[in-house]
Structure 1
Amino acid sequence: MNAQHLFAKAADQPFLTPQDRIIQAYIEHHDNDLILSTSFGADSAVLLHMATRILPRIPVVFVNTGYLFEATLEYAEALTKQLDLNLHTYHPLRSSEKQEAIHGRRWEGDESAKASYNLENKVEPMNRAVKELGATGWLSGLRRGQSERRKNLDYTEEQGRLVKYYPILDMTSKDIYYYKKEHGLPDHPLTAEGYTSIGDWHSSAPGWQRAECGLHDSSVAPRINANNNFVI
């Protein structure tokens, strides 16, 4: 049993706090190998604040699909300034206009078309971030209460050489609310309009919870081979 596997087992203990999980991830991967991803969605401020209070210069990866709400981009700018984030923004290799000219509105198509859309606009940019930043550890703000699939997640998930950590997995919506209130963290502007799940404009609506965002969907999300490359 290697050291990474031993660590993953330790991080899976349910008695650890979210802060404990962040610290343990840092012990294993250190600043230069550990990244934090964010969508600047409804709950994103919590893990961003929590992680950067412990690791102020952790690279924060933001995938701008080209289909985000203007309110999300404004929220990203405000939180980046408030929390002094070490932000790394990644975009798809092709513009949204070029994609639509060739493929049409894939998010309205069948499951294969949607998977292709998510792969190009979410998975591939994240792949580049992992490779360019040399990451071996990835902090993500997934929570059990966000979807049926996420209810069954472990606190860590190994994908080849990459280990994904979910420090706030057990936090409830109530926990999120009170954490933001205690630390003076702003709400995403669209939450006032009834949005609880905020991603691309074409797949978000007031009062509607997305099944999966596409980046972490097991039908699309890649596995990592020994060379830290994504394979589908």
Structure 2
Amino acid sequence: MSLEKIDIVEINKQLEGKSPEEIIKWSLSVAKNPVITTNFRPYESAILHLVVSQNKDIPVVWCDTGYNTPQTYQHAEELIHNLQLNVHLYVPKQTSAHRDVVLGLPTIDDPNHAIFTTQVKLEPFKRAMNEHKPDVWFTNLRRGQTAFRNSIDIVSVSKDGIIKVSPFYNFSDEELDAYLEKYNLPNEFKYFDPTKVENNRECGLHI
């Protein structure tokens, strides 16, 4: 099947009720240049394990803002080592120390917050996508996280025309907990995203 000819509505009907493993198997069958993105937030170990179990060499794009918690960095190192992730690291062009002096850490109602978000997340992400040029992008978006995420489905299309696949889209926290327990995977909740601050906000990466 050609990605150019995919009917998103029809594909989502076909994938409804399928397991995450089956969703990834279908996605990899049509992908020529897939990637998976991660920020090592809670429950990321599930999708990383699931995807690399079917494609161990898939590029894992990590856009590190430079503001993660020590626990997140420790969690990332553990997963990178244990799952043998093919990590491609992207960081802002300005160091966090320099930015702290020039811009600081703006609150979400500060006009400088948009500049901050572009610098630490959107620009590195755009650079990563331009370099990898993926046709399929695996994410861990789930229903119930934000209003925008409630409006998409298992398969959606990014603003740049990339097929975006969220295998755990319909999973609850409890179901993901069971997956982590089944495969003895770690989880880490001491996570902070300076571009979102609040859990129900989007930073602009997916919209």
TM-score by length of 1: 0.78
1:146 Cα deviation after fit: 2.1
Compute the RMSD of aligned alpha carbons.
Answer: 2.2
Higher helix fraction (1 or 2): 1
The equivalent residue for 1:77 is 77
**CA deviations over 1:96-144 (Å, ceiling 9, x no partner):** 12223322322x1526432222222111111111111221221100111
1:213 Cα deviation after fit: 5.0
Q: 1:7 and 1:88 mapped to 2: Cα distance? A: 31
Say if 1:157 and 1:113 are closer, same or farther in 2 by CA, change over 3 A.
Answer: farther
Q: 2:79 and 2:177 mapped to 1: Cα distance? A: 16
Please tell me whether the aligned partners of residues 37 and 60 of structure 2 are also in contact (alpha carbons under 8 angstroms): yes
**CA deviations over 1:182-210 (Å, ceiling 9, x no partner):** 0000121xx3xxx5xx2336966xxxx61
Work out whether 1:167 is the aligned partner of 2:167. yes
Q: Which of 211, 214, 217 in structure 1 is aligned with 2:200?
A: 211
Q: Which 5+ residue runs of structure 1 have no aligned equivalent?
A: 219-232
TM-score by length of 2: 0.87
Q: Which 5+ residue runs of structure 2 have no aligned equivalent?
A: none
Please tell me whether the aligned partners of residues 122 and 215 of structure 1 are also in contact (alpha carbons under 8 angstroms): no
Q: 1:123 and 1:57 mapped to 2: Cα distance? A: 25
Please tell me whether the aligned partners of residues 157 and 165 of structure 1 are also in contact (alpha carbons under 8 angstroms): yes
Work out whether 1:11 is the aligned partner of 2:11. yes
Q: 1:57 and 1:7 mapped to 2: Cα distance? A: 28
Q: 1:92 and 1:169 mapped to 2: Cα distance? A: 29
Q: 1:160 and 1:201 mapped to 2: Cα distance? A: 24
More displaced 10-residue stretch of structure 1: 138-147 or 41-50: 138-147
* Aligned residue pair count: 203
Percent of aligned pairs sharing the same letter = 23
Say if 1:36 and 1:53 are closer, same or farther in 2 by CA, change over 3 A.
Answer: same
Pairwise mapping of residues 148-227 of structure 1 onto structure 2 (< 5 A)?
148-158=147-157, 159-188=159-188, 191=189, 195=190, 198-200=191-193, 210-216=199-205, 218=207
Pairwise mapping of residues 82-121 of structure 1 onto structure 2 (< 5 A)?
82-106=82-106, 108-110=107-109, 112-121=111-120
Larger relative CO (CA 8 A, sep 6+): 1 or 2? 2
